[in-house]
Amino acid sequence: MTQQTPYHEDQETDNNTSNNTHFDDILGQYITRRDLIKKTASGTIALALAATVTGCASSQSTAKQGQRSSHLPTAKRPEKLTFQPVAKNKLDLITVPEGYQVNVLYSLGDSIHPNYGAWDDNNIPSGPSFQFRSGDCHDGIHFFGLNKKTKRLDDTFSEEGLLVMNHEYINPTFLHAKGPTSVNGHRPEDEVIRENNAHGVSVIHVKKNEITQHVEMIKNSVFNRRITTYTPMDFSGAAAGSPLLVTPYSPKALKTRGTHNNCGNGYTPWGTYLTTEENFIGYFQRSSTDDAKRQPHDIAALKRYGLKAGSSSKYEWDTAIGQIEPQEHYDRWKANVTADSASQDYRNGPNTFGWMVEIDPFDIKHNPVKRTSLGRFAHEDSACRAVEGMPLAFYMGDDSRGEYIYKFVSQAKWDAKDANAGYKAGDKYMDKGTLYVAKFNQDGSGQWIELSYGKNGLDQSNKIYPFSNQADVVTFARMAADSVGATKMDRPEWCTINPENGEIYVTLTNNSNRGKDYPTDAANPRNYQDLYADKKTQKGNVNGHVIRFKEQDDKTNALQFQWDIYLFGAEASMNANINLSGLTDNNDFSSPDGMWFDSRGILWLQTDDSAYTDVTNCMMLAALPGYIGDGTVATTSNGQQTRVGAKVTDDNLRRFLVGPVEAEITGITMTPDNKAIFVNIQHPGEESASYDKPNSHWPASQSTANSSARPRSATVVITRKDGGRIAGN
Ligand code: FEO
Ligand code: CA
Ligand code: CA
Ligand code: CA
């Protein structure tokens, strides 16, 4: 048996070589959800109820400027931040300001069904049981208030709700009893099933005590479910039915199985959850002889998405021998031409991932839907701007070095009557519309360039890819964007919209290659050096930044925008032409990633860092941003002119939380009353050499000193001891 190298998320590759500028636990087989519900009397009733109310509970919402229509009397944005800033630290704990408390709600392996027992470090549950347990590497998350009568969304409800969250990937070292193993080149099937089930999405039903604000999971709720790499899904939109999506599973290219590498998230104004498929490509194997069986444009597309011939799959699911599951469940990770047609092999497997996936947490009857019109790339996050009477705009990042920022504009204009219409609203607003990619100009202006078949050179004569229809354009959106001269960005991560003024914020986490393969430009202006632990030299855009833009005339379908850089990550002690936002010890940070405006207009910023971790663990900050143009033109240490927002102060940017050892802070949501904030802690102790030598013991270390427990990714809920609003007055 051999131990495999753990996979680290931060493996964003440089694929953009375009030259534009820029159960009981021992159950031996799966039990379907339907079977399970039949066996659970209360569940049967709940399922029937949920099915009958789907789509009927139209709320009286009125759309507002931000991401969610709501009739909630939203609290005002505070004038300034008053909590005590948390000091940088390397403790194996979550540290929060005085007066706040942290509770661990939902950790790797926790059961979501009464038939399944608690997690036990010394008796790791079976692979199949993870269909009813928390997945690993918690990421994007959203709270949907649950109206107890209608069983649908009501975002005035804080006492009960559905928490929906991503499980981005896995830390195999701690997922299995003795880390990941392989026998004669084959991964053991139970491990592979556990790994498949530990990916995807969780929906958990939670309730909050109105007095104490204590939050707990309702374990026997029919809404609790896992969506994994096995879950059947539908294709909808521009690429549905395309030859590019044909597989043996769905020769008509209308269905597929599973979602994985779900990173950032989004949510719609009609109460559904959006999960993204980010670093999906690494899950596929491709043999070294496969190029000889493919067309040149097909090979170019595989290369552009990072799957060269000879690539092995990072978890080697393709090596498992099917004894519990059909062999086909493992063969589907081999993206090779081995048969006469695409309906007989999995050559198109990679094309079935990289999409934006819609999940209606209240609808347990219908399949999730891959909304292909929004393009295929390393989707990180999305933010939807809904203004009554205007088309909807979805802003999205493609997180790899030198990739792009995209916008999808719906053909239909937003009608608040659709506020609880489920997948039907998704069909209306996400299937028909126009995809754009962003170009940032030196002077602070920018353009949205349309990615539609037959426009801007996107046709069969295109030299990068011979596009024949819109299905080709969306499936190979990166190549379409290459050919229209989009701006190569420093790894676009999360997007969010300021509810006060409709400005759109995007985190650009870092780019070690900026200034080398990617020349600096005004929107990605920094290339500098920094020392890590006084030893290793770090280069490029070491600490990342946050860009923001405002659409012309404030229209969601504008083709022009204005931009500036709201915030530059830096160490407080760096020179002023690197620390351009004037960060101090109370708010300095590196590698912004998760980011979200709450309903009051407080911006929450989370880090996924490896550049400043010699000094501090990853963190979350709260901010009260200004607006585009509140700053100046500035020149960076490398002589690049840029546009920077007003310098921050301790009153409008403060560190709220520091996480445990080797953990990323990612994923954030709140109850509508702003009294409970949910945050995900991903991969504590990820650098550990072996399962029996953990570098972190979190979450056990949060309550027990001298714990020897395994580290586990988890959702925490933070509340005020006095029951007040988070970061409120
Ligand atoms: Fe999964 Fe781009 O962070
Ligand atoms: Ca440093
Ligand atoms: Ca991320
Ligand atoms: Ca990241």
Tell me the per-residue pLDDT of 398-438, one tens digit each, with 9 for 90 and over.
Answer: 999 999 999 999 999 999 999 999 999 999 999 999 999 99
The pLDDT assigned to 58 comes to 28
- Ligand 1 near 490 CB (within 6 A): no
- For 411, phi then psi, to 5°, come to -75, -40
Bridge partners, residue 653, by sequence: 623
Alpha carbon of 485 to ligand 3 centroid (Å): 25
Alpha carbon of 340 to ligand 3 centroid (Å): 39
Lookup: tokens for 272 = 């559904």
- Amino acid letter, 521: D
For the CA of 666, the nearest atom of ligand 1: 3
For the CA of 12, the nearest atom of ligand 1: 2
- Ligand 1 near 325 CB (within 6 A): no
The pLDDT assigned to 47 comes to 30
Q: Do strands 401-403 and 489-490 pair parallel, antiparallel, or not at all (unpaired)?
A: antiparallel
Whole-number Å distance between alpha carbons of 333 and 352: 11
For the CA of 378, the nearest atom of ligand 1: 2
Of 188, 190, 230, the closest CA to residue 333 belongs to 230
Q: Which residue has the tokens 């792009």?
A: 404
Q: Does residue 74 contact residue 391 with C-beta atoms inside 8 Å?
A: no
- Ligand 1 near 168 CB (within 6 A): yes
Alpha carbon of 419 to ligand 3 centroid (Å): 28
Whole-number Å distance between alpha carbons of 208 and 712: 24
Ranges of the chain with pLDDT below 70 = 1-13, 21-73
Whole-number Å distance between alpha carbons of 482 and 489: 12
- Ligand 1 near 12 CB (within 6 A): no
Lookup: tokens for 122 = 């010394």
- Ligand 1 near 277 CB (within 6 A): no
- Ligand 1 near 398 CB (within 6 A): no
Extended strands (E) in 254-385: 255-257, 265-267, 273-276, 356-359, 369-371, 379-385
- Ligand 1 near 686 CB (within 6 A): no
Alpha carbon of 54 to ligand 3 centroid (Å): 32
- Ligand 1 near 399 CB (within 6 A): yes
- Ligand 1 near 482 CB (within 6 A): no
Of 496, 536, 530, 483, the closest CA to residue 510 belongs to 530
The pLDDT assigned to 10 comes to 53
For the CA of 491, the nearest atom of ligand 1: 2
Length of the chain: 729
- For 713, phi then psi, to 5°, come to -65, 150
Residues with CB under 5 A from ligand 2 (ion): 530
Nearest CA to ligand 1 atom 1: 263
- Amino acid letter, 67: Q
- Ligand 1 near 195 CB (within 6 A): no
Alpha carbon of 602 to ligand 3 centroid (Å): 20
Whole-number Å distance between alpha carbons of 283 and 54: 35
Q: Which residue has the tokens 């990421």?
A: 139
Q: Does residue 406 contact residue 439 with C-beta atoms inside 8 Å?
A: no
Is the Cα torsion angle 193, 195, 196, 198 positive or negative in sign?
Answer: positive
Q: Do strands 433-440 and 545-551 pair parallel, antiparallel, or not at all (unpaired)?
A: unpaired
What are the tens digits of pLDDT across the range 61-89? 333 333 444 444 478 999 999 999 999 99
- Ligand 1 near 124 CB (within 6 A): no
The b-or-e profile of 553-583 (16+ CB within 10 A means b, else e) is eeebbbeebbbbbbbbbbbeebeeebbbbbb
Whole-number Å distance between alpha carbons of 156 and 719: 18
Cα 577 to chain centroid, rounded: 32
Alpha carbon of 400 to ligand 1 centroid (Å): 9
Alpha carbon of 449 to ligand 3 centroid (Å): 25
Burial of 537 (0-12, 13-18, 19+ CB in 10 A): exposed
Q: Does residue 272 contact residue 422 with C-beta atoms inside 8 Å?
A: yes
Full-model pTM: 0.93
Domain ranges of the chain: 10-720
Of 557, 59, 494, the closest CA to residue 269 belongs to 59
Whole-number Å distance between alpha carbons of 224 and 146: 13
Q: Does residue 526 contact residue 513 with C-beta atoms inside 8 Å?
A: no
DSSP state of 343: T
Q: Which residue has the tokens 């194996």?
A: 92
- Amino acid letter, 419: A
For the CA of 279, the nearest atom of ligand 1: 1
Lookup: tokens for 340 = 């006469």
Alpha carbon of 509 to ligand 4 centroid (Å): 7
Lookup: tokens for 519 = 């020349």
Whole-number Å distance between alpha carbons of 656 and 624: 13
The pLDDT assigned to 13 comes to 65
The b-or-e profile of 664-691 (16+ CB within 10 A means b, else e) is bbbbbbbbbbbbbbbbbbbbbbbebeeb
* Contacts (Cβ under 8 Å, ≥6 apart) of 6: 171, 172, 173, 686
Q: What Å distances lie between residue 95 and 90, 422, 612, 661, CA to CA?
A: 10, 38, 17, 12
- Ligand 1 near 278 CB (within 6 A): yes
For the CA of 493, the nearest atom of ligand 1: 2
- Ligand 1 near 9 CB (within 6 A): yes
The pLDDT assigned to 75 comes to 87
Bridge partners, residue 101, by sequence: 719
